[in-house]
Homo-oligomer: A and B are copies of this chain.
């Protein structure tokens, strides 16, 4: 599958590299096509990897990942272009973290709204699926690094899009039963509002390399 990945940070590079490793063709997009991190990634990965603007990446992908920092996500998607996202699955991995007040960050949107919902509202023709925003990038693409079972959450309005994304999660190494469908895109409030607990756990555990397993009787 052809995949567009928006952004050039550590999350984007890890997801993009994993996708190429799995045989997908990836176009990574940045604000400017001559971004250094972008050029390095494309040259480092070689076959299957290409780079361009946000619009190039969105146009090239049949499915598009938004991994940009939450505060930059809507602008990046605007630059990607509504027409380039229309009808496509848009995987939203972002979190609306606001570091302006210092650590720990607060959320710039929460409680009765979420970044996932804002993105779906701004791009109504895209099929937004929120997932993977509750784990760090190592766990995202290598869930087996943690012992035993643990879970990933999926939400969005389009059932087919959620199925496509779940299949991609299985390719990443997540057992199918580890993906919990939380419902429509408004459930993005729930997974984004988990971030403050995630951050406190990171502090208490001394590592970002963790996840949670949901236990039922």
Asked if A22 lies at the interface with its beta carbon under 8 angstroms from chain B, I say no
Q: Contacts A106-B112, A196-B193 known; A180 to B209 CB distance under 8 Å?
A: no
Given the complex of chains A and B, what is the CA–CA distance between A145 and B217 in angstroms? 6
Tell me how far the C-beta of A42 lies from the nearest C-beta in chain B, rounded to whole angstroms: 31
User: Are A210 and B203 in contact (CB-based, < 8 A)?
Assistant: no
Closest to A206 in B: B216
User: Are A217 and B213 in contact (CB-based, < 8 A)?
Assistant: no
Tell me how far the C-beta of A91 lies from the nearest C-beta in chain B, rounded to whole angstroms: 19
User: Are B204 and A180 in contact (CB-based, < 8 A)?
Assistant: yes
Given the complex of chains A and B, what is the CA–CA distance between A214 and B199 in angstroms? 13
User: Are A201 and B215 in contact (CB-based, < 8 A)?
Assistant: no
Chain B positions within 8 Å of A214 at CB level: 201, 205, 210-212
Copies in the complex: 2
User: Are B213 and A201 in contact (CB-based, < 8 A)?
Assistant: no
User: Are B203 and A197 in contact (CB-based, < 8 A)?
Assistant: no
* Beta-carbon contacts under 8 Å, A152-187 to B: 153, 155, 180-183, 187
Asked if A99 lies at the interface with its beta carbon under 8 angstroms from chain B, I say no
Residue of A111, A180, A210, A211 most packed against chain B (CB within 10 A): A111
Chain B positions within 8 Å of A203 at CB level: 182-183
Tell me how far the C-beta of A171 lies from the nearest C-beta in chain B, rounded to whole angstroms: 21
Closest to A101 in B: B112
Closest to A107 in B: B111
Q: Contacts A180-B201, A194-B197, A204-B183 known; A217 to B110 CB distance under 8 Å?
A: no
Can you give 11 contacting A-B residue pairs, CB < 8 Å? A106-B112, A147-B215, A150-B213, A180-B205, A182-B201, A183-B200, A193-B194, A207-B216, A211-B214, A212-B215, A213-B215
Given A180-B204, A182-B203, A190-B196, 17 other A-B residues pairs in contact with their CB atoms under 8 A: A101-B112, A110-B193, A145-B217, A146-B216, A147-B217, A155-B200, A181-B204, A182-B204, A183-B200, A183-B204, A193-B194, A194-B197, A207-B217, A210-B214, A210-B217, A211-B215, A212-B215
